Amino acid sequence: MRIVLKFQTTLLLFRLRPSRHRFPIIVSLDCNHGETEKVVRSFGDAIKFIKQPNQTEPVLPRQQKKFAGYYKIARHYRWALSEVFYRFGYNATVITEDDLEVAKDFFSYFSTTYPLLKKDESLFCISAWNDNGKPGLIENDPTLLHRTDFFPGLGWMLTKDLWNELEPKWPQSFWDDWIRASEQRKNRACIRPEISRTAMALEGKIGVSKGQYYEKHLKHIKLNKDEDIVDFEKLDLSYLLKDTYDQHFVQTVYSSPELTLDEFAKLEREKVVSMSSIRFTYTNAKTFKRLATKFQLMDDFRVS
C-alpha cells in the first residue's frame, strides 16, 4: 500500500493498480485546498483520504523562515506515516509525491521486491528511482536491479519495523538528508532499478526546492518504457541478497581496469575505449566532483 502527498500521481496509480484490495491507495492532504479535496473525495471508497490536521505555520527563527516548507513536509510525513502504520495497521507502504510519473510495472516491481525487504535485515528500503538514470549512463536492461548505500527516495517502500525505529527521532525538517545519515542507515542498503520506475514531472520545478537539480539532472532520468514492462514475479531476485550481491560486486569492481581521468581522456581522444567496465577511484569531495562532472552524474556530495 502507499501514500500520495497530493493527487496527480494518485490518478496514475489508480489506473495502473492491479487490485484495490492488494494495493489500497491512501491520499494524505497537507493543505486546505478545497478543489483538491473535492476531487479526492469523488473517488469514494476506492481510495482512503486523510488530511493532516495541523495547518499552522512553523514557529521558526527569522533566518530559518525560508525553510518553512521543509518543516511542513517533515511534519506531514511523520503524521501520515504514523496514520498508515498505527491507525490503519499496514506492515509496509510505498511513498510517492505528486510530482512523479510512474512506470506501468511499478506495482510488479514493489510487490516482488517486498519479500526481499522483509527477509534481508541488511536492507533499508526499496526505491523506484535511479539518481543517475539518464540515457547514456545506464544499461538498457529493464530487469536489472542493484543495491545502493545511498537512499534514493522518489517512490520508495519502507516497513512498519523501520518506522518504529525512525518515528521517535524523526527530524523537524530536511528529513531526506537526515535519513541518509549513518545513524539512521546503519550500514543498510536500498534496492533500486537500473532504469527508474518513477520520473520527475514538470511540477517538480515548483516544489519547495525551487527546482534544484531539475534542469541539469532530474528531468533527464529515464522512465521505463511501456514496451519494456517487466513481470518481476517471473525473475529470480536472490542475487540481490547481501552475501551474493557483495561477492559479485567486489569481483566486478576489482577485475575492472583502473584509470585516471587523464588516462581515460587520452583513450577517448584515440578512440580506443573498448572496456566493458572501468574503475575510477576518488578520495575526497573534490575528486568525486571531477568525476561527476565528466560523466554528468549527480555531484551532490551528501552523507551516506
Give the catalytic positions in this structure: 176
In angstroms, the CA 267 to CA 301 distance is 28
CB atoms within 10 A of CB 114: 16
Give me the half-sphere count of Cα atoms (radius 13 Å) on the Cβ side of residue 118. 10
First to last CA, the chain: 27
Q: Who's near 199: CB < 8 A, 6+ residues apart? A: 100, 101, 221, 222, 223
Chain position carrying cell 569481483: 251
- Where does the chain have alpha helices with state H? 8-16, 34-41, 68-82, 106-119, 160-166, 175-179, 182-185, 242-254, 261-270, 285-295
